Amino acid sequence: MPSLPRRRFLHLAAAAALASVVPRAHARAPLRVVASFSILGDWVRQIGGERVRVTTLIGAGEDAHAYAGKPSDAKAVARAHLLVANGLGFDDWFGRLARASGSKAVLMVASEGIHPRSAPLREEHDHGEHNHDDHDHDHHGALDPHAWQNPRNVNFYVSNIAAALSELDPQGRAVYKANLLRYQQALEALDRDYRALFDALPEDARTLITAHDAFGYLADAYGLTLLAAAGVAGESQPSAAALAAIIGQIRQHKVRAVFLESGVDPRLMQQIAKESGARVGEALFSDALSAANGAAPTYLDMMRHNLNALRAALAPTTTETP
């Protein structure tokens, strides 16, 4: 199975090998693309437009930390032209699924080029597959896979996706380039709005308390202090001592709000808020989009929702962005 672990492979790979996956005579037909989870699927749709047909293995609103395979997944992967993985230890099961399905699709790592941050070392975190018939788990180890929480990193994701689509479908290159430029402009606007919010906040309002460590890239990008009630994997629970330490830090630093996350049991954060005196902010989206009729059907919607939730809790006198 071909693999695209680095962007330079997209430009140097033999054209004949790619042509064997997608014959040039049929390049006008939609490319069949399978993405590992909902945010990646959205980027492929945004860049590919009508020239792609996207299947997402972990769908909107589903737990992105765990993958339980379905027979239909192997079928979709086997028929795909392009497989899009996050990398950074988030979806290592994808390569095994592709091999097991006999897929001849190109497998690309969309996060290639991003400088990864280290994951917290206090816990062993699991982002592997949770199949009742298979107890083999993946661990992302020292890397934090949630790179999309920094909008600037998304430039790498969408550029890599555009390059892969252009290699497989040269006739659509102009379309992919135009969609990429349009999306990059939206990312720049998003970054400016995040920066404007956090630059305007006083130091004592720059600490975020969240349910798990999914927002480290956001904190690094905008000069925030991040305290998480659990580890990178949302299913882990803090010990009583860790919980007491977090509550003590909230009181000491006069943290204004703690934030729930979509798809995470709210009771932990409600307990922390009750015992610390902080308010409970609106739920943030971390690693899964909402359904089409929800608050975060796309990545840009997700980040705008989070921005407004942060603003309302940390700087409630300012006006929300549209």
For the segment 139-175, what is each residue's pLDDT rounded down to a tens digit? 445 899 999 999 999 999 999 999 999 999 999 999 9
Residues 182 and 248 in one domain: no
- What are the tens digits of pLDDT across the range 114-136? 999 987 654 433 444 434 333 33
Question: What pLDDT is stored for residue 247 in this prediction?
Answer: 84
Question: What pLDDT is stored for residue 120 in this prediction?
Answer: 64
| pLDDT of residue 181 exceeding 60 | yes
Question: What pLDDT is stored for residue 238 in this prediction?
Answer: 67
Count how many residues are written for the chain.
Answer: 322
Q: At what angle do helices 240-253 and 267-276 cross, to 10 degrees?
A: 50
Q: Is residue 74 part of a domain?
A: yes
Residues 243 and 109 in one domain: no
**Contacts for 272-278: CB closer than 8 Å, 24+ residues apart:** 272/209, 272/229, 272/243, 272/246, 272/247, 275/247, 276/246, 276/247, 276/250, 276/251, 277/250, 277/251, 278/209, 278/250
Residues 152 and 231 in one domain: no
In the listed set 134, 164, 188, which residue is the last one of a domain according to the structure?
188
| pLDDT of residue 184 exceeding 50 | yes
> What are the start-end ranges of the H helices in 124-205?
151-168, 173-199
Number of domains within the chain: 2
Question: What pLDDT is stored for residue 140 in this prediction?
Answer: 46
Question: What pLDDT is stored for residue 274 in this prediction?
Answer: 83
Predicted TM-score (pTM) of the model is 0.81
Residues 165 and 213 in one domain: no
Residues 176 and 277 in one domain: no
Distances (CA, A) of 231 to 26, 79, 127: 46, 36, 11
Residues 81 and 179 in one domain: yes
Question: What pLDDT is stored for residue 281 in this prediction?
Answer: 82
Listed in sequence order, the residues at least 6 apart from 296 whose beta carbon sits closer than 8 Å to its beta carbon are 262, 285, 289, 290, 302, 305
Find residue 209's DSSP bridge partners.
Answer: 227, 258
Residues 145 and 249 in one domain: no
The CATH number of the domain where 105 resides is what?
3.40.50.1980
Q: Is residue 217 part of a domain?
A: yes
Residues 78 and 147 in one domain: yes
Residues 25 and 133 in one domain: yes
Region of residue 36 (phi > 0: left; psi between -120 and 50: alpha; otherwise: beta): alpha
- What are the tens digits of pLDDT across the range 223-249? 998 877 665 444 456 677 877 887 887
- What are the tens digits of pLDDT across the range 52-97? 999 999 999 888 877 888 999 999 999 999 999 999 999 999 999 9
Domain housing 68: 3-188
